[in-house]
Structure 1
């Protein structure tokens, strides 16, 4: 059990891909957390444990770890850098007393840098700046220092926050220094955490009893649910009886309820794992089991008059999507969990840990609201990998009423492209009615645009620009606020090729179909009436038979003697499928397949509905 003066709670914050998780790797390795022969010593991105985190190369959920250095216990929180996962950032910063702000020496402060730093400064956390990747050929260290200074001037809530130490690093090599002449290790970062980050701010009145704010949840098959959080007051002990203090709001007024619970086991963090302890004091970050009813934002309290801590405030969701049971003719053939009840249970389980989500009943299924396309698509992909079969609708904007007026969310968008693609970017953003704020050349010769754009117009933009720039565009956005709807942006797209029959696609039929547009399916896959099999060359939808087989006759023609040559089909990813959808279309998601379809499968009924 550490004295609070020997504890440091620090969160690592940064824009996507500026090196947060790589820095945590180096801190873990250099604090002798692992033995020399442990596998982790040769691994990278140790903290990114999820499959999707490795595949996408981003941090999705915040992680806790702890290292020991010169007698100090340093609790490290690795946070996501993408604004779609800002709920993770907001809840975990409550456990920290300071932050390491990591900034790329070439890119400088980016939109998410601004977003996460604002959250940290609003919570009065002490910042330490680390300019990373200074070995890049295009590094512009002095300019980046000036940009960071401007950012602090813009965001600081009091004068003391303008005094921050700056260090330089190449996290990949595990090197850092007070100047650009780096040491061979990270000891200056460790020393800065101890000397520049304050010890935990706690309530010294131990006689008032325990206060622990639950900021995260985890679970395993052995001990069940873990409630993870920082102790703000008192001590927590193995076997202690506590009250779970829940805060709900009725008509804007907080209502606090209390329920009895008993702490079964108590764990502190060490390295990537947890170690069981008998007691922990204020200032430390711990995990407890036996509190099955605890949720994020609850307070575990004890004493004669248990008190709840302020709840974690979150930004509201900006996008929603319909998720419901699969209703296609192929339902139940590829998934393990297919019913509305199973999907409901899974979504409500997600609510326990993914606190930025909101769920509401919508017919057979649910309207799931979140922070952005990536936030929602990660949830759908996770459910898909767990064996769920479902259908999803087009992402829609969540509107808000302000002073009696219907308002829509807007975002600040930053785009960086090579000069040859400037025209393509400007044209696409013009169609989407985005307001250009700045346009400048970067030190690498790329052009950087800053736009203000409605969240509705942002849907599908990434995929459009990826295609237009041959995959070279760099873009990111952060919420800007709300403003009155000026004119709803309507996505424009050609019609689709729709299967008229149910059966198996044939190369013979697809060979004829490909003259009418771009195909989304190969031969020999199951199709059904109303399923979208391609994008039409024309504005109108086209129903066609992709199951037709060549008639076997003894007539020979010169044209049919050659083998059929099909153009390779376009295999859309989950995000591309969601972006593709219009209001009258759905995406069928199974563990094995993604199928686009019309809501109304029958072509006659569909045409009748279109006329009405």
Structure 2
């Protein structure tokens, strides 16, 4: 539109990339170059501020940063690379006018790159290609540019989007260049490209105020905080504005605080104008996707389409005999309800429903990783809970039942592809392509039902001796594929309460894999290992060796225990069946049967078979 006004002193940019391609490191380098942040000794990846992000080395929550270059304010948003956090990506891309597409100079474009790039191209954003890690041995930057161009074509990019500028960088060294043959010195080539190739935001300060709420934050002192980009007009502290709800209702509130970004810090400001990305406090009932507007002209902006949840789990308070003994501070279902409702309010990708007739909550999300991050966060906050096996969310259209299907991308060393194809074939997955990558690995692409992939990751890592790489993206809903194979192993269940004894575990380890160590406290119904036979075994892990007064040289065998498997949250969620639960506390993750009593389990099994 020819009459559109643009604000020349601002650029709003998102960084999109595959996991571990260095986007967080690149933001750090830009902040260093412009002096927007002063690093402490040994500090790295400051954008990954959440402890779980630092441990896993991935970005989970979108974060904003701001820097100044040549009197132009560049607002940068670091977006998640995992498909499970699609709701975060969707919202962030609505706030920006351009994207930095970061690709590894050795690995090239990868599956998660495809997921986020598709979203940005659909929103007609123009990308800048940054080929990172050009200092890596065997880097092939020019070949990676060609592969990325092919990916753009595959995603139906427009001619304008295909004419993307290319910058070669080493984020770790803090350098960028237009030609990898040159010796780069700093990040100026990238900064120049950002201010010249990303359009200034469309912004008319003379029009009535409008802002789409794309994220929420919460502060115990100032309440709910709305984060977004002002599309039109201006806003000041103390001003009365309107909140336009999704259903068209209009509510009014007063702006108590405005916060802008300076480097990584949020600083208070008196006002904001069109083109700014900022935070507004004072509007308490706001939700993601709703519009803040001028009180005299409450007109809503186009709302955000959020990807629907595909996986659900039941959360309930901890009912095991060890409840409250592991340092948990929040133990009741009321605590759980309040925390989950707060999460659903802040995280638009999570949906929470109460289960009728039970003190439990059905929590739906975009995938196993999405929900496991929520569980891990809650346990660190001091919550104790029990969670059920993940279940896919089915849809009914007419007479047909539909289920979510995912694209699965696998990279394995030569020799393992046969076992992977067979294992996924048994789970009714469809092989779409198989090719040899530039580094000699085999790349496989499948379509598989989401429920077929629950529990597959652990089996896949065992099958490939821990060397395989697997990614998955939601594809679409397809016709229900019928019954799928279940876990082949049974479990060993503790018969009684008490500490585990090394002698008893030594006698049990021939029957399967053990999950517990000697001296660990057990209770009736707790799962202590996997049984090689398909059926469940109730075992006595407290049995001690009988003492006699007869001694003979060599008659006592030395007790040698095989190292036990560490129970991680991901393994636990993948391993359990429908009649089992994962008990999560701040100190332990345990597996247990829903019915702890053996007689109750037998009765429940009879009722299930009769039905």
Report the TM range for the smaller structure's normalisation: over 0.9
User: Does the alignment pair 1:483 with 2:475?
Assistant: no
Q: Mind listing any 5+ residue stretches in structure 2 that lack a counterpart?
A: 1-5
Provide the TM-score with structure 2 as the length reference: 0.95
Residue 513 of structure 1 aligns to a residue in which SS?
Answer: helix
SS of residue matched to 2:472 = strand
CA distance in 2, matches of 1:9, 1:446: 38
What displacement does 1:333 show? 2.1
Secondary structure of residue in 2 paired with 1:229 = strand
Shift of 1:323: 0.9
Structure 2 residue 542 is matched with structure 1 residue 550: no
Match of 2:301 in 1: 309
Matches within 5 A, 1:134-153: 134-153=134-153
CA 42–394 in structure 1, closer or farther in 2 if over 3 Å, else same: same
Structure-2 residue corresponding to 1:264? 256
Partner of residue 332 from structure 2, selected from 328, 339, 352: 339
CA distance in structure 1 between the aligned counterparts of 2:213 and 2:281, rounded to whole angstroms:
12
CA distance in 1, matches of 2:244, 2:183: 48
- Please give the alpha-carbon distance, in whole angstroms, between the structure 2 residues aligned to 1:373 and 1:323: 14
Give the Cα separation in 1 of the matches to 2:205 and 2:266.
Answer: 28
CA shift in 2, pair 1:262/1:303, >3 Å = closer
Deviations 1:427-456 (A, max 9, x none): 322222211111111111111111111111
Structure-to-structure mapping, 1:184-203, within 5 angstroms: 184-202=185-203
Aligned-pair RMSD on alpha carbons?
1.7
Secondary structure of 2:343's counterpart equals helix
1:102 lines up with 2:102 in the alignment:
yes
On the 8 A contact 1:138/1:443 being kept in 2, the answer is: no
Corresponding residue for 1:454? 449
Structure-1-length-normalised TM-score: 0.94
Tell me which residue corresponds to 1:509: 504
Q: Which residue of 1 aligns with 2:3?
A: none
Render the CA deviation track for 1:400-435: whole Å, top value 9, x for unaligned.
223441111111111111113223322322222211
> Residues 163-174 of structure 1 correspond to what in structure 2 (within 5 A)?
163-174=163-174
Q: For 1:200 and 1:182, how far apart are their aligned partners in 2?
A: 34
**Residue pair 1:506, 1:548 contacting (<8 A) in 2 also:** yes
Equivalent position of 1:125 in the other structure: 125
1:578 and 1:587 in contact (8 A); partners too: yes
Q: How far 1:551 sits from its partner (Å)?
A: 3.6
Deviates more, 1:149-158 or 1:411-420: 149-158
Question: For 1:237-273, what per-residue CA distance to the aligned partner results, in whole angstroms no more than 9, with x for missing partners?
Answer: 11111111110xxxxxxx2112111111111111010
How do 1:260-339 residues align onto structure 2 when only pairs under 5 Å count? 260-334=252-326, 335-339=328-332
SS at match of 1:206: coil
CA drift at 1:42 = 4.5
* CA drift at 1:196: 0.4
Shift of 1:188: 1.2
On the 8 A contact 2:21/2:104 being kept in 1, the answer is yes
Contact 1:19 1:171 in 2 (8 A): yes
CA–CA separation in structure 1 for the residues paired with 2:419 and 2:12: 46
Q: Given that residues 13 and 79 in structure 1 are in contact (C-alpha distance below 8 angstroms), is that contact kept between their aligned partners in structure 2?
A: yes
The answer for the alignment partner of 1:242 in structure 2 is 241
Q: Secondary structure at the match of 2:53?
A: helix
Q: Does 1:12 align with 2:15?
A: yes
Asked if structure 1 preserves the Cα contact closer than 8 Å seen for 2:495 and 2:540, the reply is yes
2:34 to 9, 15, 31: 31
| Matches of 2:554 and 2:418, distance apart in 1 | 43
Q: 2:469 aligns with which of 467, 474, 482?
A: 474
What secondary structure does 1:4 align onto? Answer: coil
Alignment partner for residue 601 of structure 1, among 591, 596, 604? 596
Which moved further from structure 2: 596-605 or 53-62? 596-605
Aligned length: 598
The alpha-carbon deviation at position 329 of structure 1 amounts to 2.1
Q: Is the 8 A contact 2:449 2:481 kept in 1?
A: no
Runs of at least 5 residues in structure 1 that lack an aligned partner in the other structure: 248-254
